[in-house]
Structure 1
Amino acid sequence: MNFKIDKQTIEELNLTGKFRSGSVYAIFNKVKTNGGERLLDHMFSHPLEEVDAINQRSSIFRYFGEAAFSFPFDVQQLNQMREHIDSMSSKNQMLVFARTCIHKILAGLTRDERYRKLVQGLQATILVLHKCHQFIQAMRSDSPFTARVDTIREILSDKRIEKLRQVDIYKSLSIQTLSSYEHLLKGELHGQMEDVLNFIYEVDLFIAVSKVAKDRKFNYAEALPPAKNLMSAIDLRHPAIDNAIGNDLRMDGSSNVLFLTGANMAGKSTLMKSIGIACYLAHMGFPVAAKEYRFSVREGLYSSINVADNIGLGYSHFYAEVVRVKQAAEAAASGKRLLLMFDELFKGTNVKDAYDGTLAITESFADYTDCLFVVSTHIIEVGEALRRKDNIRFVFMPTIMEGSVPRYTYQLREGITEDRQGMLIIRNEGILEMMDA
């Protein structure tokens, strides 16, 4: 089974996108190799669903962070090795020898670069293998990465590779030596060379992500079995906001609905995005922007934060919201354990309908106790009507008035807000006076 997330949720949380401003992917994309970036792409596209797999990956990141490794490989040499072992070669050793001879003759007579690239490719491969051997010697024998290291150690202990590592790259290589190793590395040992390169790409990723965690003071989540139905965070923040204010929260089977109120600009949407991003990163085994994060594994994540109208389908903003809620209801009714988040339900219609719709939908969601829900609204009367539901927890983002100027603390509080500063902000901006002039 795969962790379920749709395109709208990915875009609302700004999870992916190498060049998207403020994307979560861009925060972690500090890798040095193309292979490391491909691995990062894969992890972002395939969150994990198994408790042990998540905790195992987190423990590897944590190990790399504690060891404070620096990436010891030269990227140009890695690219040359990659090109070298991927280039075509014959299974017949005599044909390889003959072709190597021809390339050397052509190099002397013309500007043919193939022989020089052959030599440089082998030299780069020797250097990479040598550095890889040195690197694994420095790794702990009891680390969570030990099984992977042992696989590479076994490859490098092959007598043919050991012999290759001892070749002096600064001395002229004979055609016999060059063709012999080309045949070996591109033929019989091609799979092993691929595994060594993949190992190096993994090392690149683990070093890069663990360094991001250290620099940004992110921490690693603890995955728990799904049946616990828990999500608990201390000092949870939005990872893309510098000096963001953190909040504590807890959701479980007895309080699986978080009902969030607060004035516009009080920070409700940012908090919801922080919750969603942390959930997604935690399922990847990645560090999250929190001091502590414990969660029961979910089967998917679903958000409705920035629903837009759809001119192509003829949808108004309100109808687009209705369609989105219907999709969420179908997902919840499927029996999957999900995290679902809704920001300002039905803001595309009148206040009375928005009140009725928000109340009815939230009450219905509360019955799906295997799912966790976050619902926000600025229609605070809905909260009072929902108090009869025992499994709804009421929290709000406060606004503090300093004279006629609102100040937002972004600190979560228990209860339902009583803030109503909409008209005050309009007056502060001088809109009414401007229109009367």
Structure 2
Amino acid sequence: MPFVTDKQTLDDLNLLGKYKNNSVINLFNLTRTAGAEHLLESMFQQPLTSVANINRRSQIFQYFQSKKLDFPFETEALSATENYLSGASASNILMAAGQNARRKLLYYMGLRVEHDLIANGLLTAIKMLASIGGFISGLLQQDSQSPFAAELQKANLIFNGNKLKWLESVNIAGPLSFFQTVRCDYLLRTTLRDEIEVILELVHAMDVFIAVTDVSRAKGFNYALALTAEKDVLHIEEGFHPCLEKAVPNTAELDADNNVIFLTGANMAGKSTFMKSFGISIYLAHMGFPVPAKSMTFSVKDGIYTSINVPDDLNMGYSHFYAEVLRVKKIAEEVGAPKNLVVIFDELFKGTNVKDAYDATLAVSEVFAEHRNCFFIISTHIVEVGEALGQRSDNIRFIYMPTEMHGKIPVYTYRAKQGISSDRHGMMIIENEKILEIIG
């Protein structure tokens, strides 16, 4: 079953968006090849729900991080190789000979572009494939039992098979003869097309593993351990937002007995960042990627939904409040499906008056909390909701983001504490900014 989420969640957590400088995917995108960039995007779009698959990918990343490899192939030559190999090919050897004869004739007539393009592409491809084969063989000799050994062995068998063994005997010191060109071109672009695709996919995968682990090492990320859904646990130790400089870490813990974090605190105290950090770690962990945390253990979930930046829809005639209601309805349908989900609500029903927001937040939070198979973070600045929930439910963990007053100046530590916030500094901030004096 695929991991479920939606565009709203991806936007809330800023996970995708290759043209957004602060997106999570851009943080990891140090890839050297177009194929690796496409593979990275695919990984981000398709998190995993199998414990075995998550942990195996995580182990491969850890293996590459321990090896501290630089990308071993010259990117310009690799790009030229891929361009050549992706070109149109002859359906049989006679057609290949005819095409090469035509290019040769045009060459002698002074029209050299097509001939040189194919000749140079073929030589570059032969050299690159020999380099890839040597690197794979060397890596296998160093560690034949690595988590990545199966992929390496598959490619190594192709290089050592009869169809590609001839690479070792090709003299690439000078131009190839007519018959060598015909034979090699036909083999690489027609006969061995599927095998070559396997080899290039391996190169793209190595590119991704090297790029991601370079980021992990530089940022101090670590690897999460996936557990079965039946364990129903989540522990993120010292998790932080991966895209913020000097991000303040916080710990979050949930299980079947305490499956809801009810988060309070003043505006600007860090509630949204706490929740986004939490959501990003959950998502990356289900991809098998390194996570921005000191450590993480989690039971695999079916998906994640957030309601953080819900836009109104003027074209549909939706107010902000009605858009919020529709978002909660969408998530309620998913929770009741039933699915094992992670759900994040930031400031429920902030588009209506305080009385309605209090009643709605209390009622919705209480009902959601009954779904013990799901994990929730629900934030509000209406602290009275937390006090009422504490009397009605026994499975809610209360956390708040504190504000320290230095005289009349609020200072935010961004370090979560147990309990419910009692901070009410809105009017003080208004007075500090002298808004009333400006109006008067």
TM norm structure 2? 0.97
Task: Write the distance in 1 (CA, Å) between the matches of 2:21 and 2:94.
Answer: 55
> Alignment partner of 1:264: what SS?
coil
Q: Is the 8 A contact 2:265 2:402 kept in 1?
A: yes
Q: What code does the residue aligned with 1:259 have? A: F
> Alignment partner of 1:138: what SS?
helix
Deviates further, 58-67 or 69-78: 69-78
Q: Is the 8 A contact 2:261 2:396 kept in 1?
A: yes
Partner of 2:12: 12
The match for 1:416 among 410, 420, 425 is 420
* 1:153 matched to 2:153: no
Partner of 2:311: 308
Q: What code does the residue aligned with 1:91 have? A: S
Q: What code does the residue aligned with 2:340 have? A: R
Shift of 1:187: 1.9
Partner of 2:437: 433
Shift of 1:342: 0.5
Shift of 1:160: 4.3
Deviates further, 253-262 or 119-128: 119-128
Task: Write the distance in 2 (CA, Å) between the matches of 1:325 and 1:8.
Answer: 12
Task: Write the distance in 2 (CA, Å) between the matches of 1:92 and 1:256.
Answer: 63
Q: What code does the residue aligned with 2:198 have? A: D
Q: What code does the residue aligned with 1:219 have? A: N
Task: Write the distance in 2 (CA, Å) between the matches of 1:134 and 1:208.
Answer: 21
* 1:353 matched to 2:356: yes
Shift of 1:76: 2.0
Partner of 1:132: 132
Q: Is the 8 A contact 1:80 1:120 kept in 2?
A: no
> Alignment partner of 1:96: what SS?
helix
Task: Write the distance in 2 (CA, Å) between the matches of 1:132 and 1:85.
Answer: 15
Task: Write the distance in 2 (CA, Å) between the matches of 1:379 and 1:371.
Answer: 23
Shift of 1:21: 3.0
Partner of 1:63: 63
Q: Is the 8 A contact 2:303 2:342 kept in 1?
A: yes
Partner of 2:37: 37
Partner of 1:234: 237
Partner of 2:211: 208
Task: Write the distance in 2 (CA, Å) between the matches of 1:208 and 1:40.
Answer: 10
* 1:400 matched to 2:404: yes
> Alignment partner of 2:348: what SS?
coil
5+ residue gaps, structure 2: none
Identity %: 45
Q: Is the 8 A contact 2:163 2:192 kept in 1?
A: no
> Alignment partner of 2:164: what SS?
helix
Deviates further, 50-59 or 89-98: 89-98
Partner of 2:167: 164
- Cα deviation digits, residues 81-126 of structure 1 (max 9, x gap): 2222222222332332232122122112123311111111111111
> Alignment partner of 2:183: what SS?
helix
Task: Write the distance in 2 (CA, Å) between the matches of 1:187 and 1:311.
Answer: 55
How do 1:193-272 residues align onto structure 2 when only pairs under 5 Å count?
Answer: 193-272=196-275
Partner of 2:106: 106
Task: Write the distance in 1 (CA, Å) between the matches of 2:175 and 2:332.
Answer: 70
How do 1:183-198 residues align onto structure 2 when only pairs under 5 Å count?
Answer: 183-198=186-201
Task: Write the distance in 1 (CA, Å) between the matches of 2:90 and 2:131.
Answer: 28
Q: How many residues align?
A: 436
* 1:390 matched to 2:394: yes
Task: Write the distance in 1 (CA, Å) between the matches of 2:212 and 2:188.
Answer: 31
Distance 1:4 1:160, change over 3 A: closer
Q: What code does the residue aligned with 2:172 have? A: I
Deviates further, 118-127 or 278-287: 118-127
Task: Write the distance in 2 (CA, Å) between the matches of 1:325 and 1:81.
Answer: 51
The match for 2:145 among 123, 142, 148 is 142
Task: Write the distance in 2 (CA, Å) between the matches of 1:348 and 1:83.
Answer: 53
Q: Is the 8 A contact 1:129 1:165 kept in 2?
A: no
The match for 2:286 among 283, 287, 305 is 283
Shift of 1:170: 2.2
Shift of 1:68: 0.7
Partner of 1:50: 50
Partner of 2:299: 296
Task: Write the distance in 2 (CA, Å) between the matches of 1:180 and 1:274.
Answer: 55
Shift of 1:162: 2.8
Q: What code does the residue aligned with 1:354 have? A: A
Q: CA RMSD in A?
A: 1.1
Partner of 1:85: 85
Shift of 1:130: 1.6
Q: Is the 8 A contact 1:126 1:165 kept in 2?
A: no
- Cα deviation digits, residues 160-192 of structure 1 (max 9, x gap): 423223323221210110101111112221111
Q: Is the 8 A contact 1:338 1:371 kept in 2?
A: yes
TM norm structure 1? 0.98
5+ residue gaps, structure 1: none
Shift of 1:16: 0.1
Task: Write the distance in 2 (CA, Å) between the matches of 1:172 and 1:309.
Answer: 65
Q: Is the 8 A contact 1:222 1:294 kept in 2?
A: yes
Task: Write the distance in 1 (CA, Å) between the matches of 2:92 and 2:15.
Answer: 49
Task: Write the distance in 2 (CA, Å) between the matches of 1:168 and 1:290.
Answer: 51
